[in-house]
Each structure stands twice: as structure tokens, then as C-alpha cells.
């Protein structure tokens, strides 16, 4: 019988990533949008963060709470490899694993010590969906956590060029100004699965209360519509 290890949710994250599609594929890729880490009531003692202001980056351990769990498989098909090539689940960062635990490195921008919800952490570079439960928070230690000569397996080669994003001012101005840079940073990374390439297909991501619809032709992404929640 498999041994069970009890775990507690210590916090959750609040941000503008309200749907899975469009969230950055890895942490640290998009640093133009801010997330807030809110502790659960029983952990809202400011002492839990004492000394944390001395660190620039944090590790977040969290649960893939929005992934539909239908058991797990020893192999997965990463979208980056076209959706057809199988690799071992432990050679991937797929959410469909024996334990649905994610690991992200984020930048700590500031700590708000006094708030109605206890001390708050403001971070950038998160790849977590809004409301994701956080299991633990640890400081990032550059002298041991950074390995510049590490091998990256099948994910070693980044895209040579980011997409060129075209968004008419008439559409962009429908978004709050604080989301402008984040929108471009998200879209230029190409949120589509690696095996999608139909130039006529219309895709959509959500950012806060907005749905952004776009097409991609070769290396240019064009925003064609921005709808606020509740619009038709």
C-alpha cells in the first residue's frame, strides 16, 4: 500500500491568469505581470516572512489544481515536441504526474506587511493560474540553485525569434494600461501548442476580465478582438 503524506495549503496566488490556455509555459518568462501571494488565515503571522526581504527570488511549490486528473502515465506527449513524441513523465514538467506538484521560480518585488489579509508577497514571473494553491515557499539561493552549465534535454533550444505582435491601438486601449506590457509579453511567446500552425484559426486567451482573440501567420500574431467578460 502506497504511503500517504499529509500536506497543507499555506497560501494561494492572485493574478490575471484566469484560464489555463495562455499562461506562460515556464516561470520567469513573462515578468511584466504581477501576482500576489495570499497566506491562508492560520499562517498570517508576519514572522513567517521574517528575513525574506533579503532575497530577490523565491521557489513556489504548488498544486496543479486546475488539471483534470485521470490517473497518470509513465509517458507524456509534450506540446513542444509536436504532441506526438513520447517522453518519460519524470523527464517532463507535465501536470499529469503521480503527484500534481509544480515548481516555479519567481522574483520577489516587495512585501506588504500590513493588509487585511495578512502580509502579502508581490511577485513577477509566475506561471500559476489565479487561485492556485501553494504548498510551500522557499528562498532561491543563487550560489547553489543556479547552474549555468546545466543541460536542458529536449527543451534546450529556445525559439530563435519571438513572434511579432500586432495590436491596433483601438483594441489595445480597451485594456487597462497596466496590462499592456503583459499582453505583448504573453503573446510574443506564442501560446499555441507546438503542433498548431493553421493561419486561419482564431485563438483566444484570457487576461483578467478580458478575452483576447488572435490569429498567427508565419511569425506575426495579430490581435483581432478584445472582449470584456460579459460582452458578446
pLDDT in tens, 3-57: 888 899 999 999 999 988 889 888 998 999 999 999 999 999 999 999 999 999 9
Based on the fold, state whether residues 169 and 121 are members of the same structural domain. no
Based on the fold, state whether residues 219 and 191 are members of the same structural domain. yes
Based on the fold, state whether residues 102 and 183 are members of the same structural domain. no
Cβ atoms of 133 and 12 within 8 Å: the answer is: yes
Angle (CA) 132-135-139 rounded to 5° is: 105
Please state the rounded mean pLDDT for residues 222-232.
82
CA nearest to 128, candidates 212, 58, 211? 58
The pLDDT of residue 11: 98
159 within domain boundaries: no
Based on the fold, state whether residues 73 and 171 are members of the same structural domain. no
Give the Cα separation of 228 and 232 in Å (integer). Answer: 9
- Among 85, 115, 145, the domain-final residue is 145
108 within domain boundaries: yes
Give the Cα separation of 187 and 36 in Å (integer). Answer: 22
Give the Cα separation of 12 and 148 in Å (integer). Answer: 31
CATH number, domain containing residue 205: 3.30.2310.20
CA nearest to 103, candidates 152, 60, 153? 60
- Locate all alpha helices (DSSP H) within the chain, ordered by sequence: 142-145, 169-172, 180-188
Range of the domain at 169: 164-228
Rounded (10°) CA dihedral 212, 215, 219, 220: -70
Based on the fold, state whether residues 137 and 187 are members of the same structural domain. no
Give the Cα separation of 212 and 183 in Å (integer). Answer: 9
Based on the fold, state whether residues 111 and 217 are members of the same structural domain. no
The lowest-confidence range among 119-133, 146-160, 163-177 is: 146-160
Query: Which pLDDT band holds residue 158 (cuts at 50, 70, 90)?
Result: low
CA nearest to 64, candidates 131, 4, 139, 154? 131
The pLDDT of residue 161: 67
Instruction: Judge whether residue 159 has pLDDT over 80.
Output: no
40 C-beta neighbours (distance < 10 Å), count: 15
Based on the fold, state whether residues 47 and 139 are members of the same structural domain. yes
Question: Residue 154 in 3-state DSSP?
Answer: helix
Give the Cα separation of 163 and 159 in Å (integer). Answer: 9
Please state the rounded mean pLDDT for residues 153-182.
85
The grid coordinates of residue 199 equal 493561419
How far is CA 130 from each of CA 64, 66, 78, rounded to the nearest angstrom? 11, 10, 23
> pLDDT tens digits for 91-138?
988 888 888 899 999 999 999 999 999 999 999 999 999 999 999 999
The pLDDT of residue 203: 93
Count how many domains the chain has.
Answer: 2
CATH number, domain containing residue 21: 2.40.30.70
Q: What pairing do the DSSP bridges indicate for beta strands 220-228 and 164-166?
A: parallel
Based on the fold, state whether residues 67 and 135 are members of the same structural domain. yes
Based on the fold, state whether residues 37 and 128 are members of the same structural domain. yes
The pLDDT of residue 72: 81
63 C-beta neighbours (distance < 10 Å), count: 19
Please state the rounded mean pLDDT for residues 140-169.
84
Please state the rounded mean pLDDT for residues 180-197.
85
68 within domain boundaries: yes
CA nearest to 139, candidates 106, 164, 111? 106
69 within domain boundaries: yes
> pLDDT tens digits for 65-97?
876 667 788 998 877 776 778 889 999 888 888
Based on the fold, state whether residues 82 and 194 are members of the same structural domain. no
Amino acid at each position: 500500500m502506497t504511503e500517504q503524506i499529509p500536506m497543507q495549503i499555506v497560501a494561494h496566488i492572485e493574478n490575471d491568469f484566469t484560464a489555463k490556455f495562455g499562461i506562460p509555459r515556464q516561470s520567469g518568462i513573462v515578468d511584466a505581470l504581477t501576482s500576489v501571494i495570499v497566506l491562508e488565515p492560520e499562517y498570517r503571522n508576519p514572522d513567517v516572512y521574517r528575513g525574506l526581504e533579503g532575497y530577490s527570488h523565491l521557489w513556489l511549490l504548488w498544486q496543479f489544481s486546475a488539471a483534470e486528473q485521470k490517473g497518470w502515465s509513465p509517458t507524456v506527449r509534450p506540446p513542444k515536441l509536436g504532441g506526438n513524441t513520447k517522453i518519460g513523465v519524470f523527464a517532463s514538467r507535465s501536470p499529469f504526474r503521480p503527484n500534481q506538484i509544480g515548481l516555479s521560480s519567481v522574483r520577489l518585488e516587495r512585501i506588504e506587511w500590513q493588509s487585511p489579509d495578512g502580509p502579502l508577497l508581490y511577485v513577477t514571473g509566475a506561471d500559476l493560474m489565479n487561485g492556485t494553491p501553494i504548498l510551500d515557499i522557499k528562498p532561491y539561493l543563487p550560489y547553489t540553485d543556479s547552474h549555468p552549465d546545466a543541460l536542458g534535454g529536449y527543451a534546450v533550444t529556445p525559439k530563435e525569434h519571438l513572434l511579432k505582435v500586432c495590436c491596433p491601438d483601438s483594441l489595445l486601449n480597451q485594456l487597462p494600461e497596466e496590462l499592456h506590457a503583459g499582453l505583448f509579453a504573453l503573446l510574443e511567446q506564442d501560446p499555441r501548442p507546438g503542433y498548431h500552425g493553421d493561419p486561419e484559426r482564431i485563438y483566444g486567451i484570457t487576461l483578467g476580465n478580458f478575452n483576447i482573440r488572435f490569429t498567427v501567420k508565419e511569425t506575426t500574431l495579430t490581435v483581432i478582438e478584445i472582449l470584456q467578460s460579459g460582452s458578446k
